[in-house]
A and B are shown apart, each in its own frame.
Chain A
Amino acid sequence: MKNFQQNLQKLEASDTQVLGVSMDSPFANKAFADQIGVTFPLLSDWGGDVTRKYGLYVDKYKAARRVNFLIGKDGKILEMQVDKEAIDPTKIVAACERHKLNR
């Protein structure tokens, strides 16, 4: 999440809203956001309904996989990064800028 925070200005300049999602409670997520200095919303998927809807629930961990989606203004998925690939947001930041240029 910190990585997105570090790139937040660039992302906002590319007309992009960042949302974190986990199965933690809203209050745990707020404490986490404060601790790491994240200013965008960390959403709580308490119970995991959305995580399951997105096909990202991992039984073994009782939690979500780490996946980043870039969703365009038309609601369609433009880019997706999965698991280890999703830790470094460089690619998705670059994609935002590219999609902005192509708009």
Chain B
Amino acid sequence: MAAVILGSGTPRGFAQAPANPPQLKVGEEAPDFKLQYFDGTDLKDIHLSQFRGKKNVIVAFYIFAFTGG
């Protein structure tokens, strides 16, 4: 007899992300921020507002350094 394996839908657990969408919406103003990065010599400040009127900005939040994506 062949075993019958029933599909049980998506596995639950590790990769389950919060289902709610972020509060910010397309069309809204992105909150300004000032953050630092290390360029190898110094800590440098970046303000989101410094790109206003000059460049589009992709702000990519990621979970931890040294992980994929």
Contact = CB atoms under 8 A, between A and B. Distances in A.
B42 to A, nearest CB: 10
B5 interface: no
Give the bracket for the number of chain A residues in contact with chain B: 35 or more
Nearest to B43: A26
B61 A65 contact: yes
Interface residues of B, number: 45
Contacts of A56: 22, 61
Contact of B24 (A14, A54, A63, A96): A54
A83 B66 CA distance: 17
- Interface of A, secondary structure class, is mixed
B38 A76 contact: no
B17 interface: yes
A17 B36 contact: no
Nearest to B28: A77
Interface in A1-47: 1-4, 11, 14-24, 26-32, 35, 41-45
A41 B44 contact: yes
5 contacts: A16-B56, A22-B65, A73-B51, A76-B27, A76-B28
